Amino acid sequence: MAGGMAMPGGWTLAMVWTGSAGRFVAMWLVMMVAMMLPPLLPMLAHFARNGLAALAGVAYFSVWGLFGAAVYALGSAIARAELEWPAVARLVPLATGAALLVAGAVQLSTWKARQLAVCRACGAPASPAAATALMHGVRFGVNCSLCCLGLMAVLLLGGMMNIAVVAAVAVAVALERLAPRPALLARAIGAVVMALGVVALARELPAHMLHY
């Protein structure tokens, strides 16, 4: 799963996209638990008072499991196209730069700021009922997955098997949830991501134009 296949255009196709969906989702969930648990702890602490923290946590990470299944479906379809058509594979480095620009723009948007505010404010409800904990975990998972769309794009574009990328995204997620002035921080992260996209495009465009 950790290996890769050399592709036209000078990049490597990660084997995570050619393995089974079950293995991918399991790996995704392990990564999400490690990445999302620190900012999730304040919400779980509220539920710990009535013994429902585990239920809320399972509901929350079930949403991330569904997110991972959707990611696998899209990623494996793209991987099949890249393997079948070399012309598509050659466009990947260029498309990666463009996608980083989009991910950075999402981080800079007012939509992101609204999602982040909702995610940070999503404390535990007063009701001690199990159904309430379950629904709150699901709602919080949906809010947080929407909030993290730009950062998850960076994770996927940078490489899920790249420890530096995983660590950087994990730090960004934690800072957005826990640090003061979250909207400003999200925009700063977006500016960095867009700069990386510009660098990627500047590096790939000349070679792409020469090829065609």
* pLDDT (tens digit per residue) in 138-164: 999 999 999 999 999 999 888 888 889
Please give the structure tokens belonging to residue 102.
């989009």
The model scores a pTM over 0.85? no
Q: Cα separation of 106 and 195, whole Å? A: 14
Mean of all residue pLDDT scores within the chain: 84
Determine the distance from the C-alpha atom of residue 21 to the mean position of all C-alpha atoms in its chain, rounded to a whole number. Answer: 17
Q: What is the DSSP letter of 123?
A: -
Say if residues 23 and 170 touch (Cβ distance below 8 Å).
Answer: no
Say if residues 92 and 48 touch (Cβ distance below 8 Å).
Answer: no
Please give the structure tokens belonging to residue 129.
């009922």
pLDDT at 136: 87
